[in-house]
Chain A
Amino acid sequence: MQSNLQNVVETLNRIILGKPGQIKLAIVCLLAKGHLLIEDLPGMGKTTLAHALARVLGLDFQRIQFTSDLLPGDIIGSAIYRRSDETFKFHEGPIFTQVILADEVNRATPKSQSALLEAMEEYQVTVDGVSRKLPKPFFVIATQNPFHQIGTYPLPESQLDRFLIRISLGYPAREVERQLFSGQDSRKLIENLKPVLDAQSLILMQNAVDKVSVTDTLYEYLQDLVAATRQSNQWSHGLSPRGGLALLRAAKSWAVLEQRDYVLPEDIQAVWLAVTEHRLMSQSSSSSSIDNPVANILKNTVIPR
């Protein structure tokens, strides 16, 4: 089972070059049954990542381009009157899939955004009083433009909280980009990709995350970290309990990815930034990347031994 996961990671690394950390975090997010937020500019390979991920895992894939005139119905689907039998028939929207790429989620109106986010949280959609279950596994990859352009609706913190992990891909390194140029078209690569996993085994792995053990010492470490965010005056609010749970879950998934059935402090540290950074609203709007207060917390918190 675990060798399959390694296989997944390796395959993805062959397609998305030079981003092993992000790939791992994406898989961790998937294992933890969370949703992934990619904050990046267009053309960085978000779609490729999402597509490749779905393909390798043998999952269905849909993409929704969010725009300002996108309506909830365009995401969820709507009931359409059928003249032949004079009934309304529900047509499933693009959300009824296993992996969904919500591109530029901040360009849509809050109304449409919340339709997506509700589905993410509930794993079901309700149309005309009928609840419809979403397929399993259900994994949302949303992308967001980091710059607040005119006509965008940045996701509020309360909504950001629903994404387990936020990553950004960033520009590739020079050599990597050279490979990119000289290599095959990634689209073609993805088309030729054979699934390494299937949905069923992915669910099994997701369940394995629940069985990962955490010692009291580590709970203590986790609490120390969470408490540090709450005590700091860098942010208006510290991490919520949901944030803490997310951290724990992500750390457990990381442990599974590292082929362990117990969590190490390093697992928590590995997922710390990706899990917490988007949940903490900086009071000073200018956050320099050099002195990242979230990273500082990691640096200043002693691991209980």
Chain B
Amino acid sequence: MSEQISLGDYNARKIELLPILTAQQLVLLPLYFFIPIWITLLNLIIVSAVYLTDVRQKFSVHPRIKNIITLLAVAGILFSFHKLTGRDAGVALIATMYGLKIMEIKAQRDVYILMLLGFFILLAGFLFDQSPWIAVYQFIPVAAILNALISIHSLSRSAESCAGTFKPAGSSHSILHYSFKATIHQLLKYLALSIPLMIILFVFFPRLAGPIWRMPGGASATSGISDTMSPGDISSLQLFDKIAFRVKFNGDTPNGANLYWRTLVLDEFDGLTWSREKIKKEQGIVTFVQSNKTSGANDNYDKASGFYRYDISLEKTSQRWLTFLDRPIDIPKRARLFSDYSVQTNHRLLDRTRYKAESQVGLRLDGQLSLSQREKNTQLPEGGNPHSIAWAKQQRQLYPTDKAFIEALLLKINQQEYFYTLSPPIMQRDTVDSFWFDEQKGFCEHYAGALVFLARAANVPARVVIGYQGAEKNPLSDYWIVRYANAHAWTEIWFENEGWVRVDPTAAIAPHRIEKQLQQDYSQRDSLFGDFGFDAVELDDIGWLKQFEYWMDQANTGWNEWILDYNQDSQRKLFDGLGLKNLTGQQVAILMIGMLAAFLTLISVRWMRDKQSLDPVQASLQLLLKKLSKHGIELQDNQGVNALIGDIQQKQHHKPTIETRSITQLIRILKLYSFLRYQRQEITQKQQNYFRQQVKSLRIRSYKNDRGHIRPWLN
């Protein structure tokens, strides 16, 4: 068994540049979106130059010129970024160097370096964007790198063109096509081999509790609702379709009227801005939860009101506030609950954060109000809005209770010409006066702010709550999406014996419309004000675009949940699920190494076995013989293939068992084999492929009586 091509020829054959250049550029392509344009241009010029040099063989680049180009490029990066470190400058430098490296391709080892470097440079793309789409894209350059590596290892493809005497029956076009298919097949094989390795390494590699380092950039910009509320804050948020968080309910889901997501309580007003009191009393979470859970008989506990357990996946906010369904009764251990039922973490949420929580919609808050609390929640700024204060005080006299007074205010909003608009007129200096009496147009902040102001003016404790209202179920999955567009402000008014009661003045604008939402399982914040130009999304007529959007979001969620957020915690959970409880990091590492070793051993054993019949023509023959043995045709060890043809023909003549057409095809293949095996010329890749294709496409059909009647003399 020997190779037809000598080792010397093999080593001396020309390196094919095109697959290498393609792979290199595909690796760099995602980076081109993030680095200065001149680097992209430089790289493209270099690649074209190298390719032309290779094709024309007319000119070559002097080493000194290469050095000068390199130095100039480094200088250019220094000029652009004023440094060579950090993400942007670093990646630009790497991309430039990798682009210039192509000039150095002389021998096979240079190709190895370039291609293996490519695998690492692929990672640079993730420094800018961690979305699943870039990961999907990365398979293309990976395949291109593999293709380049295969191409430098296989027999020169150029040999195919001088196949000389060999002219197979098929047209040369179909063979080229097949060769492409064969390459793809080979690529898929290598990719498929690497995937188990990837999974083992990903799942079992010991994880840290949190990231060692943070993705740079954008850390200072906060998003979502902030801890102050000035007119316009929320309405500007409402223009964003960006996702604020996703919720997955375990068990019941609340109806639309209860989908209020509490984030912050604002209780200080300076005449323009509502803000949160700086010093808050922390609620002892343990006692709180316990008292709630064990107080079945307590009148705090309302059996009718629903309990909801859910998981929230909060997008990065760069703030410390967590959002819960109004009102939370169980919160994550690492968070602190304040007496106003807002929840804060110890650090800013610089990553997407997932937590479990439980809420009770009808939870009663602060049945009794201390004097200081009462004072705080009825406090108003000195001066300003005199008209409102006077009007509120006077109105309060007309009603027996605080509650009746508030209901009257809501009725006024409901009955009179109060409009909800995202483009309210500019308010005068006394914003509440201006809004309440003159303009009567505004959005949730105006209504919430005004209601609290008026209540406080009448000495009724009141405060503003901000958060989100509504949610949108992803119909393709079981989670709900809450967007910035769902941002909302409402109020809480304290009534004797009832505690803090949620009052949403915005909803009072059109209460029947919120009722309508109640009838639907699915509610969206926008549709709260259907008459005011918001389009509600009906579940039944979700267009394909929307469907695609949901699908994308689902993919994104899965990606975030299972890939990006895969940390020590989720690893533990996964192992627990697999029945491997309480593994130490060391044990996990040993497990991983063991699995890797087992996999690699398996692969290499197979490889070694294949190597014994590495000759592709040989392998194809084995395949053919396997097919033949199913039909009782065996090639003896001491039998030549031509002798087998003789046997087959004889057998066919006397007692046919195989259809004549199959026999003709079979004999042609066998003859092709002995030609390939014993003729003078070396076998080209093309011939090997052709032979394999022929063997694969051979279908041996059993002999059927052609004429349809029995021929007894054959038996």
Interface residues, chain A, with chain B CB atoms under 8 Å away = 213-218, 220, 261-266, 269, 298-305
Contacts and interface: CB of A to CB of B under 8 A. Distances in A.
Nearest to B2: A216
A45 to B, nearest CB: 27
Q: Which of A213, A265, A305: most chain B Cβ within 10 A?
A: A305
B38 to A, nearest CB: 57
Interface of B: 1-2, 618, 621, 637-643, 674-675, 677-680
Contacts of A263: 678
27 contacts: A213-B678, A213-B679, A214-B678, A215-B678, A216-B1, A217-B1, A217-B2, A217-B678, A220-B1, A261-B679, A262-B678, A262-B680, A264-B640, A264-B678, A265-B678, A266-B640, A266-B642, A269-B640, A269-B643, A298-B638, A300-B638, A303-B638, A303-B640, A304-B1, A305-B1, A305-B618, A305-B677
Nearest to B3: A216
A218 to B, nearest CB: 7
Contacts of A214: 678
A60 B379 CA distance: 139
Contact of A303 (B2, B637, B679, B680): B637
A218 B678 contact: yes
Nearest to B4: A215
A301 B638 contact: yes
Nearest to B625: A305
Contacts of A299: 638
Contacts of A298: 638
A211 to B, nearest CB: 9
A137 B695 CA distance: 46
Mostly, the A contact residues are mixed
A131 B1 CA distance: 47
Contact of B677 (A217, A269, A300, A302): A217
Most A CB contacts (10 A, CB to CB) among B640, B641, B679, B680 go to: B640
B674 A264 contact: yes
A216 B639 CA distance: 18
A284 B539 CA distance: 98
Contacts of A269: 638, 640, 643
Given A213-B680, A303-B640, A305-B618, 16 more contacts: A214-B678, A216-B1, A217-B677, A218-B678, A262-B678, A263-B678, A264-B674, A265-B640, A266-B640, A266-B642, A269-B638, A269-B643, A301-B638, A303-B638, A303-B639, A304-B1
A217 B640 CA distance: 12
A269 B644 CA distance: 13
B240 to A, nearest CB: 70
Contacts of B621: 305
Contact of A262 (B618, B639, B679): B679
A258 B618 CA distance: 24
A274 to B, nearest CB: 17
Interface centre among B1, B638, B678 (most CB of A within 10 A): B678
Contacts of A304: 1
Nearest to A301: B638
Contacts of B680: 213, 261-262
Nearest to B679: A262
B691 to A, nearest CB: 14
A218 B677 CA distance: 10
A21 to B, nearest CB: 14
A31 to B, nearest CB: 19
B643 A266 contact: yes
B649 to A, nearest CB: 14
Contacts of A217: 1-2, 677-678
Nearest to B617: A305
Nearest to B645: A266
Nearest to A269: B640
A305 B621 CA distance: 9
A305 B614 CA distance: 12
- Across the A-B interface, the 7 shortest Cβ-Cβ residue pairs: A213-B680, A266-B640, A265-B640, A302-B637, A216-B2, A262-B679, A262-B678
B1 A264 contact: no
Nearest to B618: A305
A265 B643 CA distance: 9
Given A266-B643, A305-B618, A305-B621, A215 B638 contact: no
A301 B621 CA distance: 19
A214 B637 CA distance: 20
A272 to B, nearest CB: 11
Contacts of A215: 677-678
A262 to B, nearest CB: 5
B618 A264 contact: no
Contacts of A220: 1
A266 B645 CA distance: 11
A251 to B, nearest CB: 11
Contacts of B638: 269, 298-303
Indicate the member of A261, A266, A298 with the most B CB atoms within 10 Å: A266
B620 to A, nearest CB: 11
Nearest to A302: B637
A269 B642 CA distance: 11
Contacts of B2: 216-217
Nearest to A211: B680
A263 B638 CA distance: 16
Nearest to A218: B678
Contacts of A261: 679-680
A263 B674 CA distance: 10
Contacts of B677: 215, 217, 305
B320 to A, nearest CB: 74
Nearest to A268: B640
A184 B677 CA distance: 46
B328 to A, nearest CB: 76
Contacts of B618: 305
A303 B641 CA distance: 10
Contacts of B679: 213, 261-262
Nearest to A212: B680
Contacts of B642: 264, 266
A125 B39 CA distance: 86
A218 B674 CA distance: 12
A34 B640 CA distance: 26
A301 B639 CA distance: 10
Nearest to A219: B2
Nearest to A300: B638
A213 B677 CA distance: 11
Nearest to B643: A266
Nearest to A297: B638
Nearest to A267: B640
A167 B571 CA distance: 81
B695 to A, nearest CB: 14
A252 to B, nearest CB: 12
A298 to B, nearest CB: 6
A297 to B, nearest CB: 10
B396 to A, nearest CB: 105
A168 to B, nearest CB: 23
B629 to A, nearest CB: 15
Contacts of B675: 262
Task: Count chain A CB atoms within 10 A of each CB in B618, B638, B643 and give the residue with the most.
Answer: B638
A261 B678 CA distance: 9
A300 B674 CA distance: 21
B626 to A, nearest CB: 14
A264 B676 CA distance: 11
Contacts of A264: 640-642, 674, 678
A261 to B, nearest CB: 7
Nearest to A266: B640
B311 to A, nearest CB: 62
Contacts of A300: 638
Contacts of A302: 637-638
A214 B680 CA distance: 7
A264 B680 CA distance: 11
A85 B351 CA distance: 126
Contacts of B674: 264
Nearest to B613: A305
B570 to A, nearest CB: 53
B44 to A, nearest CB: 48
